[in-house]
Structure 1
Amino acid sequence: MAEPNILLTRIDNRLIHGQVGVTWVNHLGANLILVANDQVAEDPVQQNLMDMVVPDTIQTRFFSIQKTIDIIHKASPRQKIFIVVKDPHDALKLVKGGVPIKKINIGNMHYEEGKKQIAPTVSVDEEDIKAFKELAKLGVELDLRRVPDEKGQNILDLIK
């Protein structure tokens, strides 16, 4: 079975918004945005709101983490897939489940109580740091940047 054509995986707790639906999609040349998130997979209202941001030429799918793991290998080679997840824990579940993710873009993780800000749009706690370190051990490149033309940084350099 051929490996799915995953162009990039992005961690963004907003999931699909203008930056993802237009800027990143155009930069990558993606024709499919796959949101892997258990809550959104069950919420048609959120799905519809996210679909409004995406050009009509781009397909969207809203799958649970498990469904993504189960069917990603059935993707057509014509599908140029951009996966979006809410946090590093979901990304780690995908990788451990066999989704062939080689690079993760960390774009947005809002500050909340108990998290420390490590970049203008990224805040982490100890559990997030553990997940990032485990992803790195599994061979995943971790690139922190908001938009494609920004210079990326390895998140591990910021969380040591």
Structure 2
Amino acid sequence: MSELTDKGIVNVRVDERLIHGQVATMWTNSLKTTRIMVVDDRVVKNSIEKMALKTAVPSGIKLSILTAKGAAERINAGNYIGQRVFLLVKAPQTLKKLLDGGVPLELVNVGNMSQKDGAKSVKKSVAVTDDDIETFHYLDQKGVRLVAQMVPSENAEDFMKLLK
């Protein structure tokens, strides 16, 4: 068991799409998820996005939509002990906030980051900006193991090797 698993977090994933087909079915089933936690400071304030996420959550799975600060406080307080929480963020910068907030991130799956201006593609469905790369290096230096894995049946690749 890891320190984060002891707190109820079974997987941490960067996925711009948040809750979608792969997450709602394959990932939640393979992880035996009881709660999906979306951590994003902007989504918390967007009622339309929150409604879309609520409708996308599979039946029987709880949903939390939190700011990075709120998530860090709840995780560190042990609020999710005994649950199987799948933590989703849109961007690596949110992970930095969680880590800086005391959340013991050990392993992060980089799943989907779409192409945007100034981004370079490092893997099918993963494009990173200079700011993303800097943030991933920060996480790596803090001991967070970063892997790229689109679906549970795919082997996880060392994400830092893809950035080189």
For the aligned pair, the TM-score class normalised by the smaller chain equals over 0.9
1:4 maps to which residue?
7
Letter in 1 for 2:117: E
Which of residues 126, 130, 136 in structure 1 aligns to 2:134?
Answer: 130
Deviations 1:19-53 (A, max 9, x none): 11221111111101110001111122212211222
Root-mean-square deviation (CA, aligned residues, Å) is: 1.4
Identity %: 33
Q: CA offset at residue 70 of structure 1? A: 1.7
Letter in 2 for 1:155: F
SS of 1:34's equivalent in the other structure is strand
Contact 2:9 2:84 in 1 (8 A): yes
SS of 1:142's equivalent in the other structure is strand
Contact 1:111 1:123 in 2 (8 A): yes
1:65 maps to which residue?
68
Question: Could you list the runs of 5+ residues in structure 1 that have no partner in the other structure?
Answer: none
Contact 1:109 1:121 in 2 (8 A): yes
2:43 maps to which residue?
40
Contact 1:143 1:154 in 2 (8 A): yes
Greater mean alpha carbon deviation, residues 68-77 or residues 120-129: 68-77
Contact 2:76 2:102 in 1 (8 A): no
**Residue pairs, 1:144-155, within 5 angstroms:** 144-155=148-159
Q: Distance in 1 between matches of 2:57 and 2:39?
A: 16
Letter in 1 for 2:61: I
- Would you say 1:21 and 2:33 are equivalent positions? no
Aligned residues: 159
TM-score, structure 1 as length reference: 0.94
Q: CA offset at residue 104 of structure 1? A: 0.5
- Would you say 1:117 and 2:111 are equivalent positions? no
Deviations 1:69-124 (A, max 9, x none): 12212314221111100111111111111112211110000001101001010001
Runs of 4+ in 1 over 6 A off after TM superposition: none
Which of residues 105, 110, 133 in structure 1 aligns to 2:109?
Answer: 105
Q: CA offset at residue 146 of structure 1? A: 0.8
Letter in 2 for 1:95: L
SS of 1:82's equivalent in the other structure is strand
- Would you say 1:81 and 2:75 are equivalent positions? no
